[in-house]
Amino acid sequence: MKPEGIEGLKTLSLSLQITADMIKVLEVEDNPLNMELVIELLTMHGFTVHSAIDGEEAIKKIEKEVYDLILMDIELPGIDGVEVTKIIKAKYKNIPVIALTSYAMKGDKERFINAGFDDYVSKPLVVSDFLKKIEKYTKVNWKNVQLPENEFMTVTVS
């Protein structure tokens, strides 16, 4: 006997597709220029982006809203991005957190992963790599989106 129900489910799963407009991102960054660039890039691709200028504001926002992804600067006034991420992950371990950092040195990846970061991207951001990471952690399908090649964002290191 043919399992019609299961066939039906197969068809349904094929038609499911996560698009950027379903995704809410929290960008934690104290540098207004960096903040603006990331917000512009993500909203241009359809994401909803909220912002926090330090760890304290980030934690407040996460307690009020459900985010699908957090982008975390490391050097922040007050609690730094590593400590903020430890606090967030202790309570909300399923929200992916990506470090946006100039600390792309040997050993740092381990330090970030130990703190609970899911991944990191180095500044200055390479737009295509950055968007690929966003795709990986949000499951957004870029199939119909033209990604820029070798385009850098001028992001300062603070």
Q: Which residues bind Mn ion (CB under 5 A)?
A: 30, 73, 75, 158
Min dist. Cβ of residue 21 to Mn ion (A): 28
101, HSE (Cβ side, Cα atoms, 13 Å): 21
Give the separation between CA 92 and CA 103, rounded to whole angstroms. Answer: 25
Which residue, 19 or 102, has its beta carbon nearer to Mn ion?
102
Which residue, 20 or 74, has its beta carbon nearer to Mn ion?
74
Which residue, 154 or 158, has its beta carbon nearer to Mn ion?
158
SS3 72: strand
φ, ψ at 25 (rounded to 5°):
-110, 140
Euclidean distance between the first and final Cα of the chain, in Å? 64
Min dist. Cβ of residue 75 to Mn ion (A): 4
Give the separation between CA 156 and CA 158, rounded to whole angstroms. Answer: 6
Min dist. Cβ of residue 76 to Mn ion (A): 6
Which residue, 75 or 135, has its beta carbon nearer to Mn ion?
75
| Residue with the shortest CB distance to Mn ion | 75
Give the separation between CA 45 and CA 12, rounded to whole angstroms. Answer: 26
Min dist. Cβ of residue 43 to Mn ion (A): 21
